Structure 1
Amino acid sequence: MLTFHTADGTEVVFPTLMVRAMQRYFSLTHKVPYFTFVVWCVANHEARGVHSMNKIRIPIAAAVAVSCLMLAACGSSTNPNAATSSESQDGPIVIGAAVATSGFMTSFDEPDMAGFKIAMDEVNAAGGIDGRQIELIQEDTTSTAAGAKKAAETLIDQGARILLTSANFDVGSPAGIAAQDQGILNVSIGAASPKYGAQGIGPQAYTVAPATYLEGATLAQLAKEKGWTTPFLLDDKSLDYSTEVCQGFRDHAADLGLQTQEDSFNNSDQSIASQITKIKSSGATAIALCSYTPGGATAVRQLRAAGIDLPILSGIGMAGTYWLDAVPDLSNFYTASTASIYGDDPNPKVNDFITAFTEATGAGPATDAAVGGYSAGEMIFDAIEKAGGSTDGAALSDQLDTLTDEPLLAGSTTFTPELHIPADRPLAIIEYTAGKPAYTETLPVEGTVDLHLGN
């Protein structure tokens, strides 16, 4: 309930229902603060010389009627990019992608987007959603946070009603925040930080990628399974992604009774000579490399060149084969991945997707990120359909927040209003031997993974 006093002392009382409705309408559609409406009402009251009552209490039924009349009267001033009932039913469904086509994030975003486009093409070929085609518009983030924000704002101005963001929290979150500010559903095509969600961005932010801490915990589980009880952690401090993977390893290693040592580096470092010296004298039985390309590939090359043949365990940031020229015939290297893209995944649907991807693009996916991109499409399109064709952010969140063990191509996915990232999905273990990657197992983590959402 909102109470407002006019100049003559009359008290005007607006019902809570009306206040909330007008707040939502004006802030998301007209982009005018809802109190402007209140001031208009009170000014109108005074202009008409209505001073005969000391208190005006607007009934809810009347409030609804007034709201409807005012919305109709204000229709000509509506932001053309805002969601309206007519836009939600007519014309294409416009999805914007604020992703990298230049800079270091290109090797991560491009496979994701290629996977998403296959999912989109399948929906469009089948007639779209309620007869409406999906239209994709895209802007380059230049692999920077500032570029991501600018790209998102441009896409929203161009009419995007749903936004895809880059596959990293540090780079992609400014785009997500720009979308969230407009109440627009924003889905990261690969950010693994739990901060990409309700806590770090807002209720319309989701990611399809498994959590960073889950990646790290899975690698610790692998070390325990293999009997590598004294792993050495190489922690790349350049992004939240890599530091969180190492923290997930650290947490679960302690739970499993592993004895760890560690050192750190930055992705741009040209040499890790001091870290190599420390590893050689550590008595380590394996190396957990929490990093991503290109710096991660540089680190692997230097480790092998120094004669260190220990097993190297890494996450999705080092998945794929596109970087293996840096380390020809690499062996004893493992990644925890979303799926195997090498035709040997235990899920036949993944292998069928790889075939379709290869036919559509002329080559197989560079990384398993393509699977995640496809699943981003799966969950978005399903939510739109279940929401009756609506692209309203809150309506889509209502659908996504009910997903429980949803069998997406990327794996079982559960969301809640508080958690918008897969936190317990078993990951595929890929082993590289003589430069050839192959699926070995799908490895669940014992116990519960700490996502550090309170930190």
Structure 2
Amino acid sequence: MLLVASVLVACAGCGLFSGGTVVSPAPPTDDEGKPLAESSPLPTATPDGVPLPADAVVVGALMATSGFLADFDEPALVAARNRIDALNEAGGLLGRPVVLRHIDSHTELSSMRNGADRLLLDGVDLVLMTCDAAYAAPALSVLEGAGTLVISPCGTDDAWITGELGQRVFSMATPVSTEAKLLISVLADRGFTSAAVVIDQTSSEAVAVCEAFARGFEASGGRVSGLYRYQPADPGLLEPILDGLGDAGTKSIVLCATRLVAPEEILAPIRAAGHLQPIVASSTMDGDHWIGKVRGIGDFTMLSYASVYTDSPDPSPEVRQVLADYLATTGHIARDGRAVTGADAVEAYIRAVERAGTLEPGAVAAQLERFDGEELIVGPITFGPDVHAAVDRPMRVITIEDPYARYDRTISP
């Protein structure tokens, strides 16, 4: 993931990992006061300061469970912990128990370097890293110097691809450049040769995806009829968006936005003004708890890592199991499909270690680089010496049939 603007800080959920128990923020609903199902403990959490077994495989996690990045980091961390639980129940890794040592970054840059130092003192074999490359940077510089293997379950910045963040640094998420290609594919499938692009500036991931889309769409022969940017701090930016969408040449809309801002501040005004063009959205809009905020959502399609919708389950049994475990752990369904990347990160590590026959970071990284169409939970992943992110990760296409979101199909770059 890319750095999300500070406007999100005030509204982030602050789930906590403490004493082996997950308490994650539930999606906002109209039934805000109703109790959720009781959460279950996660025994693999090892509090800071507790001695580790001498033969343990130590997985460190430097991910936010408080502050605005918790909305992105914590779901992937929950899924990673569930996979570690299952691994221990099956006998561990190379016959050794796996211990997760989590340090909450609190979405604070100042916590990252110190957190990396603390994990190194624990002798970590793998570090699961926050989704945000900018927040990860101070920790990555420390871990790179120590030769530590790092996997971000959910880092989408293209910087994760090439190794510029570290030679033993990988990401399991779809890079923004790949997601932009998938958006172009969705428009092509619908026969759209022109599109207006609307960007919610509060998410730099959203900005990067739509800017990459606009460049790629025009390079492929499409026409961007207008590129519009919105900031909550400047509501005057809405008028030019509405005026531009009234252009007769605007046959479709590509939206890269956050669920926090877009439903009420962008989407609702667009539809209320009578602009009914089909909308194709990036995965930053994934989820259905916001749909009720937009009257007459109409023709709306978005990308997702997995279908979390109970009335339209994901076609993959493995994905459904990850989501079922997530529900059992937290007491609520995952708010979007990104949680599955946490399970994929641990699964990729397990396979690389087993093939290497050792925990030595260089040997494990070399095995990761040999992944060629490796079938993981969400789909095939290919890495290489110069490719350390999931550039070919398939994604789900989700359509809205008001008031429900439904799985439509899976597409690949």
Query: 1:136 and 1:305, CA in 2 relative to 1: closer, same or farther beyond 3 A?
Result: farther
Structure 1 segment 32-181 matched on structure 2, within 5 A: 90-181=54-145
Could you tell me which residue of structure 1 aligns to residue 381 of structure 2? Answer: 413
1:407-444 Cα distance to aligned partner (Å, 9 max, x none): 00121100001001121233210012213111111223
Could you tell me which residue of structure 2 aligns to residue 250 of structure 1? Answer: 214
Could you tell me which residue of structure 2 aligns to residue 436 of structure 1? Answer: 404
Could you tell me which residue of structure 2 aligns to residue 339 of structure 1? Answer: 306
Q: Which structure is higher in RCO with an 8 Å CA cutoff and minimum separation 6? A: 2
Query: TM-score if structure 1 supplies the norm length?
Result: 0.72
Q: Which runs of 5+ in 1 are unaligned?
A: 1-86, 446-455
Could you tell me which residue of structure 2 aligns to residue 231 of structure 1? Answer: 195
1:368 aligns with 2:332: no
1:308 aligns with 2:272: no
Query: 1:106 and 1:330, CA in 2 relative to 1: closer, same or farther beyond 3 A?
Result: farther
- Structure 1 contact 331–435 (Cα < 8 Å) conserved: no
**Worse overlay, 325-334 or 287-296:** 325-334
Structure 1 segment 164-203 matched on structure 2, within 5 A: 164-203=128-167
**Worse overlay, 359-368 or 186-195:** 359-368
Query: 1:362 and 1:353, CA in 2 relative to 1: closer, same or farther beyond 3 A?
Result: same
CA offset at residue 137 of structure 1?
1.7
- Structure 1 contact 230–284 (Cα < 8 Å) conserved: yes
- Structure 1 contact 263–275 (Cα < 8 Å) conserved: no
1:130-150 Cα distance to aligned partner (Å, 9 max, x none): 222211122222324444334
1:124-181 Cα distance to aligned partner (Å, 9 max, x none): 1101012222111222223244443343333333433311111232333333333222
Match of 2:350 among 381, 384, 389: 381
* Structure label with greater radius of gyration: 1
Match of 1:402 among 370, 377, 387: 370
CA offset at residue 266 of structure 1?
5.6
CA offset at residue 90 of structure 1?
4.5
2-side partners of 1:113 and 1:268: how far apart? 30
1:280-337 Cα distance to aligned partner (Å, 9 max, x none): 3333122211233423444334433444332222222221234445436744222112
2-side partners of 1:243 and 1:131: how far apart? 45
Task: Find the residue that maps to 2:154 and give its secondary structure.
Answer: coil
2-side partners of 1:168 and 1:216: how far apart? 18
Task: Find the residue that maps to 1:440 and give its secondary structure.
Answer: strand
**Worse overlay, 126-135 or 153-162:** 153-162
Match of 1:280 among 218, 226, 245: 245
Task: Find the residue that maps to 2:88 and give its secondary structure.
Answer: helix
Could you tell me which residue of structure 2 aligns to residue 294 of structure 1? Answer: 260
1:320 aligns with 2:287: yes
2-side partners of 1:111 and 1:395: how far apart? 29
Identity %: 26
CA offset at residue 119 of structure 1?
1.0
Q: Which runs of 5+ in 2 are unaligned?
A: 1-51
Could you tell me which residue of structure 1 aligns to residue 321 of structure 2? Answer: 352
Query: 1:182 and 1:330, CA in 2 relative to 1: closer, same or farther beyond 3 A?
Result: farther
- Structure 1 contact 211–423 (Cα < 8 Å) conserved: yes
Query: 1:158 and 1:267, CA in 2 relative to 1: closer, same or farther beyond 3 A?
Result: farther
Query: TM-score if structure 2 supplies the norm length?
Result: 0.79
Query: 1:332 and 1:110, CA in 2 relative to 1: closer, same or farther beyond 3 A?
Result: farther
- Structure 1 contact 312–332 (Cα < 8 Å) conserved: yes
CA offset at residue 220 of structure 1?
1.5
